């Protein structure tokens, strides 16, 4: 059994993707002079520096420790009774941290031929993109319903905070009490942004308000925070008296600290409506064109322009639609794509409840038995993903180091799952997708922890979409219907390229985005509206999936053509996986160097 080191698959791991509103740039000369006299980094070797940087970030963001697990070897313990308040002062400190880190990193002389070069280039890229992000802090809307601090904190309290002892329960209550300070900080920062001309568009604002309302039902028995807490406390081996006392304290914390401050947050959001109603489009916000170029670079880790991505999306949508028509023709369907897809749904077999969970497990298990056709033994995962009912949406959450939280796929059982959709979703979320890649990174003993927490979406989601393609091209979608399910998924990701750039660069309005997703992306109207809102409030993120997948396919083709008979798909996958998540430009350089040395 390989030694398991760590895995993090948490999109909300805040320090790598933290918001940086209200931070102004310092004069670089003044910043360097200050750091040279007061540098916080002392590491004489790169590894020492990487460890120092990781420990420093964990101390700035102690909640992150609970996502990762046992970090005793780094002298870190989870501070389970605290929350992080991301005030302006806090963010100034984070910015200073990265400035110090870059200066110290550059004191090391590393050549491209050195073994240390891969880690060096990755850490340098991470630091530089973080510092670049501080230029646009107010443009990052930290209260959006899809990726904001509110959703992250709520999920953290509900799903990540482990309650296995009485003290764990007391710490949970303490955190809910401290949410009062956290929410007040959100209100202060939001109002500050609004006063400076940065505010949510009306659609994102409505979704944010709805999220607050959903989290704060008036009846305590309907409150998800309380009901989840009660379930966990009831499972503890405590006396009736202690159990009752914990439940009473939890209700007090929710009703007197969380709820009233969430009400104030809702009021602040509502009060900003007069500003959002006057906003013609996101492009009206200060520095928006420049910010969007930065957002695309941060999310795709490439230098592709908005227009290049838009045109790529249009091309991919056209290609995929033609392949779908061919697949429909195989089963005798005629008509428009949307009418044929509607007929396919009408005629499909459906799974719900436990039967749906069993079917996803069956598909994943079948794929696991065939993974050795495409991967070296050393690259295979050591465990299967758990499948549990989701509180909402389908998503994967990686395991913690200490094993308290297993790698888990949360399956949305609020609807029936069509048979032809299941395969592709299983391959994406479990194997050879997210669970495979995230657990593999856990096994990389030589990868610094500072890199394991970076989690580049273009790599992780690009790999998961590539996993869908790998399964499809090797016959795992064994009927035309299941191939159509795969193509439908790929079409959705291609349409994202068009819509994201349309909204943020082509001056599309919300209705144009929804119409395109319905008419060309073949999404249902309600889902299209939700997706359009997500793209508005999370610029560039939706582009990362398809950009990552296409780059992996491009590199694989280059390697196969260059090496000929010596090409081995297992070796390609090993090269992609062996150094963990990274920016595409670094991965591309690595693969091209391998090709040059081995052709």
pLDDT at residue 36, as a whole number? 41
Query: What does the pLDDT look like over 437-483, one tens digit per residue?
Result: 998 998 888 899 999 988 899 999 999 999 999 999 999 999 999 99
Residues 6+ apart with CB under 8 A from 149: 14, 19, 86, 142, 143, 186
Residues 6+ apart with CB under 8 A from 579: 118, 122, 444, 447, 587, 590
Task: In whole angstroms, give the CA distance from residue 95 to residue 290.
Answer: 20
E strand or H helix that includes residue 285: none
pLDDT at residue 70, as a whole number? 84
Query: What does the pLDDT look like over 290-312, one tens digit per residue?
Result: 999 999 999 999 999 999 999 99
Task: In whole angstroms, give the CA distance from residue 58 to residue 64.
Answer: 6
Residues 6+ apart with CB under 8 A from 506: 306, 310
Strand 408-411's sheet: what is its strand order? 386-389, 408-411, 395-397
* Structure tokens given for 233: 């406390």
* Structure tokens given for 109: 């002389």
pLDDT at residue 406, as a whole number? 78
Please give the DSSP secondary-structure letter assigned to residue 255. I
* Structure tokens given for 68: 């990762």
Residue identified by tokens 């904001």 is: 148
Neighbours of 474 (CB within 10 A): 12
Residue identified by tokens 């059994």 is: 1
Residues 6+ apart with CB under 8 A from 117: 110, 111
pLDDT at residue 9 above 60?
no
pLDDT at residue 281, as a whole number? 75
Please state at what angle helix 288-300 crosses helix 544-563, rounded to 10 degrees. 50
Average pLDDT over residues 50-58: 97
Task: In whole angstroms, give the CA distance from residue 136 to residue 95.
Answer: 12
pLDDT at residue 445, as a whole number? 85
Buried b (16+ CB within 10 A) or exposed e, 439-459: bbbbbbeebbbbbbbbbbbbb
DSSP string, 373-398: GTS-GGGS-SSPPEEEE-SSS-EEEP
Residue bearing the bigger pLDDT, 31 or 122? 122
Query: What does the pLDDT look like over 498-545, one tens digit per residue?
Result: 999 999 999 999 999 999 999 999 999 999 999 999 999 899 999 999
Tell me the pTM.
Answer: 0.89
């Amino acid at each position: 059994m390989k030694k398991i080191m760590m895995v993090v698959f948490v999109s909300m791991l805040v320090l790598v993707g933290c918001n940086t509103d209200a931070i102004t740039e310092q004069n670089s000369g003044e910043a360097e002079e200050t750091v040279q006299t007061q540098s916080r980094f002392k590491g004489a070797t790169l590894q020492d520096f990487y460890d120092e940087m990781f420990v420093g970030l964990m101390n700035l963001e102690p909640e992150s420790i609970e996502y990762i697990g046992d970090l005793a070897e780094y002298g870190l313990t989870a501070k389970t009774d605290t929350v992080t308040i991301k005030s302006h002062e806090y963010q100034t400190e984070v910015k200073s941290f990265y400035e110090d880190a870059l200066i110290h990193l550059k004191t090391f002389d590393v050549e491209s031929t050195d073994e240390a070069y891969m880690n060096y280039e990755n850490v340098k890229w991470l630091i530089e993109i973080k510092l670049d992000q501080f230029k646009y802090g107010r443009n990052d809307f930290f209260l959006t319903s899809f990726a904001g601090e509110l959703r992250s904190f709520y999920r953290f309290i509900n799903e990540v905070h482990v309650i296995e002892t009485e003290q764990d329960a007391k710490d949970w209550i303490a955190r809910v009490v401290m949410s009062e300070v956290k929410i007040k900080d959100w209100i202060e920062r939001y109002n500050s942004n609004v006063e400076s001309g940065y505010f949510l568009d009306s659609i994102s604002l409505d979704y944010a308000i709805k999220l607050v309302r959903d989290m704060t039902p008036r009846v305590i028995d309907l409150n998800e925070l309380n009901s989840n807490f009660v379930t966990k406390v009831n499972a503890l081996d405590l006396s009736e008296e202690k159990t009752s006392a914990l439940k009473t304290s939890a209700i007090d914390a929710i009703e007197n600290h969380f709820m009233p401050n969430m009400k104030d947050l809702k009021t602040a959001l509502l009060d900003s409506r007069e500003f959002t109603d006057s906003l013609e489009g996101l492009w009206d916000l200060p520095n928006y064109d420049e910010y969007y170029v930065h957002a695309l670079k941060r999310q795709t880790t490439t230098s592709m322009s908005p227009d290049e991505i838009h045109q790529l999306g249009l091309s991919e949508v056209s290609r995929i639609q033609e392949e779908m028509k061919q697949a429909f023709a195989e089963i005798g369907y005629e008509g428009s794509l949307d009418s044929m897809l509607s007929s396919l749904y009408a005629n499909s077999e459906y799974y719900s409840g436990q039967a749906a969970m069993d079917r996803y497990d069956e598909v994943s298990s079948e794929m696991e038995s065939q993974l050795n056709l495409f991967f070296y033994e050393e690259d295979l995962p050591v465990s299967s993903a758990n499948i549990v009912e989701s509180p909402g949406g389908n998503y994967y959450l990686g395991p913690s180091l200490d094993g308290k939280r297993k790698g888990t796929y949360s399956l949305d059982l609020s609807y029936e799952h069509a048979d032809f959709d299941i395969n592709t979703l299983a391959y994406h979320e479990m194997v050879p997708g997210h669970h495979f890649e995230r657990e593999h990174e856990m096994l990389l003993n030589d990868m610094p922890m500072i890199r394991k927490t970076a989690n580049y979406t273009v790599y992780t989601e690009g790999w998961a979409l590539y996993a869908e393609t790998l399964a499809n091209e090797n016959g795992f979608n064994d009927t035309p219907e299941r191939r159509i399910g795969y193509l439908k998924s790929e079409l959705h990701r291609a349409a994202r390229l068009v819509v994201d750039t349309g909204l943020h660069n082509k001056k599309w309005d919300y209705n144009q985005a929804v119409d395109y997703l319905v008419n060309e992306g073949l999404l249902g109207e309600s889902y299209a509206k939700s997706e359009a809102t997500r793209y508005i409030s999370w610029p560039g993120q939706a582009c990362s999936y398809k950009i990552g997948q296409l780059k992996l396919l491009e590199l694989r083709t280059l390697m196969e053509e260059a090496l000929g008979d010596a090409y081995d798909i297992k070796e390609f996958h090993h090269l992609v996986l062996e150094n963990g998540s990274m920016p595409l430009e670094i991965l591309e350089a690595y693969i091209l160097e391998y090709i040059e040395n081995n052709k």
